[in-house]
Chains A and B, each alone.
Chain A
Amino acid sequence: MAKATTNIPEGVELRISSSPHVRSGQSTSKAMWTVAAAIAPTAALGVYFFGVYQLAVIATCVAFALLAEATAKAMRKQKPTLLDGSAALTGLLLALVLPPNVSLVFAALGSVFGIVVGKEIFGGLGYNIFNPALVGRAFLQAAFPSAMTTWTMPDLTPDAMTSATPLALSKFGDQAAKAGIDFGAMFFGNIGGCIGETSALAIIVGGVALVALGVVNWRIPVSIILGVVVFGGLFNLIDPATYPNPIFHLLGGGLLFGAFFMASDWVTSPLTASALWIYGLAIALLVVVIRLFGGLPEGVMYAILIMNAVAPMLNRFTRPKLFGEAKKA
């Protein structure tokens, strides 16, 4: 690049650089904003079902995520990276996995913890091992367990009141409660749960759009959903009275949200095709096992965090055969 150019017509300035000379136009920030846009309908429905207060939760999470990142960068004398959209996206993701009407103090705390401990400590975007939004969520769960499991039914239901989620009901409720679970409501979102986990429809629309745009690797949601259906179905076949229908696993809790928007995070998911399959199937298995046998009603968050930790190892063990390299029999 330092080389002087010669024999160039006047008025033209040439640049030298190595091939290729054209790009797809993809960029980090474009991808982040695309994900945010794909999540917007889900967020909007969360606000619609649970009330405008949830807008304040989202705004708080986003604002504190940006603030935390700006502060961390300034302290380490690095270039500000607010415009890459990743911190804002972390804030949005975190807000949507919080219970409705959560205190704004908790929202802010979770956001700051997620950005600082989940990302900046590792060196910033690209170097983190765990999904920062889930780190924030896990922190809140550990520090304020009861606040994190107080569920409000959507405003639209006649008796809006604190209630258990369908998942908690299935686990800890009686048979009668189980029988009353309405898959239709679960699909459209008129159920209790986290702000962004209520409407399977909105999640699928946004998620499929991301897959179509090539932002989300299709192998992740496909393997998780397939895995949950298969593993959940197996238990259901063994003993239908104790273990719920796999559709229930799919529509319940944060499964779809996690599959499309959390597990698919670029930085914390593996690279190779076979590693992606293992990652997705393992998340599914962990979710089913935690839900059925663990002490918690929900397992998506821990399943993803555990597999985030394993992802680098998966890459190492699944290096694809080079083109033309002898295939092992």
Chain B
Amino acid sequence: MALTFRGGAHPPEGKALSEDKPLERLPLSKEIIIPLSQHIGKPANPLVKKGDEVKTGQVLAEADGFISAPVHSSVTGKVTKIAKGPTPSGYPKEAILIKPSEEEEKEFFDPLDPDSVEPEQIIERVQKAGLVGQGGAAFPTSVKLSPPKGKEIDWLIINGAECEPYLTRDYRMMIEEPDAVVAGLKLLMKAVGVKKGGVGIETNKPKAIEAMTEAVKNVENVEVYPLKTKYPQGAEKMLIKAITGKEVPPGKLPLDVGAVVQNVGTARAVYRAVKEGEPPYEVALTVTGGGIKEPKNLYVRVGTPIKDVIEFCGGLTDDAERVIVGGPMMGVAQYDLGAPVLKATSGILALTKKEAAKSAETPCLRCGKCVDVCPVNLLPTRLALLSRRERFEDAEDVGVMTCMECGTCVYVCPANIPLVHWIRLGKQEVAALQRKRRAAS
């Protein structure tokens, strides 16, 4: 039996649209937009100014503090402007605008030998290269690799679950470059000093399981773990539970149960950063959904406007109704397709009216389906009600901050209540309350 967790749901996978399309590259855009903040934490400080010539891989802005990450140029060209620009999160942010030139020149770090490199060197390289977690939160990778003193870490887990429907870019990387992913895993294990490595992959990706199993065959203490195909199997907490049997307590990090989780793309990028000295100037993503004429898997230069990527995939169909950055369960709907692809972007999804269809909202029927599926055992209907009634302290008491916003509860709700919308509001209010309390004490 494949490993898994309690709860969850199984939305239609939608992966057939793109799973057999090899990763390819698209021509350079006329304008590249590189936001200074592509991660959780402080924005980077710009080192260039308008009119500067920059090379591919050159540092454009340096990290500001521990929880921050530098950004690099994804093209060779000229800085045309530093100004507020659109981002996929919907909030405009300071960005460096670059006009690419015909000739490409690369300015990478010095290559290091993956076999003899020291743990500190790996962490330093990861930090300098500005690697961030892919998908969702975009936490600087180097921070995750530097656990506080005294924390025993025994597991380094690569998240190959790719549980979001439609997305197939991790899948493609695992079957096209399994050795690079495993080499990255080995570097990550060395950096953190852990003995056990694991790759978790959902059973709906037999080819990836096969390729990765082959790639880890001669690697000691590393195993591939087939996981049940169930959303949100790729959520860090669910993945750790399935593979190690441990549960990360509310308000705690994977570190607290001795595990570090990294994405497939991060493992590959760590390997390239060490071996080739390459900063993440391009990112693998899936462009798909019924609203995209020709779904593809692509390596896209960071900063490429979404509209150019969509155009390369044949454009939107007439019945496309929603464009989403990320997957259909947790992605963000876009209103400005001029926003750029970021380091942490995992996919661009265009859903048709039919795919995004939902029936009218009715009062809660108390059917308990949301309770049944919530992987962290919350009562979503109650949390949403408390938020709606502005009873935020009560919401805090029943664990609102534990919600991962995975959306499984909304997916199954027959009353079509936007539970996550309300819970998110509750979380923001509770976070504000907690800040106030901390300031007061």
Contacts and interface: CB of A to CB of B under 8 A. Distances in A.
Bind each other? yes
Contacts of A269: 366, 368
Nearest to A217: B368
Interface residues of B, number: 75
Contacts of B336: 5-7
B377 A322 contact: yes
Contact of A18 (B241, B357, B375, B420): B420
Interface stretch (B34-42, B169-177, B312-320): B312-320
A14 interface: yes
Nearest to A311: B366
Given A7-B305, A266-B368, A323 B415 contact: no
B249 to A, nearest CB: 4
B358 interface: yes
Interface stretch (B17-25, B154-162, B187-195, B406-414): B406-414
Contacts of B405: 19
Contacts of B349: 21
Contacts of B357: 23, 25
A322 to B, nearest CB: 5
A20 B249 contact: no
Interface string A293-329: 0000000000000000000000100011111111000
Contact of A6 (B338, B366, B402, B413): B338
A146 interface: no
Nearest to A127: B363
B384 to A, nearest CB: 12
Interface string A8-22: 110111111111111
Interface stretch (B69-77, B111-119, B198-206, B322-330): B322-330
Nearest to A2: B335
Interface residues of A, number: 53
Nearest to B375: A323
Given A20-B329, A270-B368, A26 B414 contact: yes
A125 B363 contact: yes
A208 B410 CA distance: 26
Contacts of A13: 321
Contacts of A320: 371, 377, 379
Given A12-B316, A124-B363, A19 B165 contact: no
Nearest to B360: A27
Contact of A266 (B322, B360, B365, B412): B365
A184 B377 CA distance: 44
A272 interface: yes
B250 interface: yes
Contacts of A7: 305, 307, 336-338
Contacts of A271: 366, 368, 371, 379, 381
A75 interface: no
Given A7-B307, A19-B420, 6 more contacts: A3-B335, A9-B307, A12-B316, A24-B11, A28-B414, A323-B248
A-B pairs, top 5 by smallest CB distance, nearest first, are A20-B407, A126-B363, A324-B247, A323-B376, A324-B249
21 contacts: A3-B335, A12-B316, A14-B333, A15-B322, A17-B322, A18-B418, A20-B330, A21-B331, A21-B356, A24-B9, A28-B362, A28-B365, A30-B359, A125-B363, A217-B372, A266-B367, A267-B367, A321-B377, A323-B248, A325-B249, A326-B249
